[in-house]
Amino acid sequence: MSLRINDIAPDFQADTTQGTIRFHEWIGDGWAILFSHPKDFTPVCTTELGYMARLAPEFAQRNCKVIGLSVDPVDSHLKWEKDIEETQGHAVNYPMIGDPDLAIAKLYDMLAAEEAGTSEGRTAATNQTVRSVFVVGPDKKIKLNLTYPMTTGRNFHEILRVLDSMQLTAQHKVATPVNWQDGEEVIIVPAVSDAEAKEKYPAGWRTVKPYLRYVAQPGKE
């Protein structure tokens, strides 16, 4: 059964490039991003992991840990890290999970349920569904789930943007409009009455329609 937003992220124990972890325990009381890639020593994945290493401090500022996964073993990851640093200019600074028995990939529905065996002999093409992103909140629930095609590198700035939105909307009764960026106006959700909004936003807001009210981002007024 596929995972949905607000499902509890399945817990697991795994070997990583930074030691053995228990996923929920590793997350702690913050946020986490689990992102997977089809195969070590492949071109698109190399660019992605290098760029994520560049952005890892941005996620850390948001109390969000980052962890990668592929169905290759840990020793393969460790060898590949050298190529990533050499070609992308950033050393991998987050753990990468080795999943050679496909257990976690199947647990998170990254591979078809009927896939069996191990990663030995598998190609990037047979692993093509394994380019997923899961954002997990402090409550260990899935907040975002994205799966990209094998040939398309992910936009990690977009994932940062969505993380900013989710953290903001978790604290305030607002939503973020199309193409929103941190610091821009947000939308007062319809569940908040005008009377309640007057208490929350004494400086006022602009009304386009009764259900579409824009207000300065809380904390950025």
pLDDT in tens, 141-200: 999 999 998 889 999 999 999 999 999 999 999 999 999 999 999 999 999 999 999 999
Q: Rounded to the nearest 5°, which phi and psi values hold at 204?
A: 95, 175
Q: How many CB atoms lie within 10 A of CB 64?
A: 22
What's the pLDDT score for residue 111?
78
pLDDT tens-digit profile of 50-91? 999 999 999 999 999 999 999 999 999 999 999 999 999 999
The predicted structure's pLDDT at residue 120: 58
| Active-site annotation holder among 9, 14, 33, 45 | 45
CA proximity to 72, closest of 104, 96, 39, 45: 39
Q: What angle do CA 96, 127, 109 make, to 5 degrees?
A: 75
Amino acid code (one letter) for 176 = T
Residues 12-62 have pLDDT tens digits of: 999 999 999 999 999 999 999 999 998 899 999 999 999 999 999 999 999
Neighbour tally for 81: CB within 10 Å: 19
Query: Which tokens is 58 given?
Result: 């941005």
pLDDT for 1 equals 55
Domains of the chain: 13-153 (3.40.30.10), 172-215 (3.30.1020.10)
64 in catalytic set: no
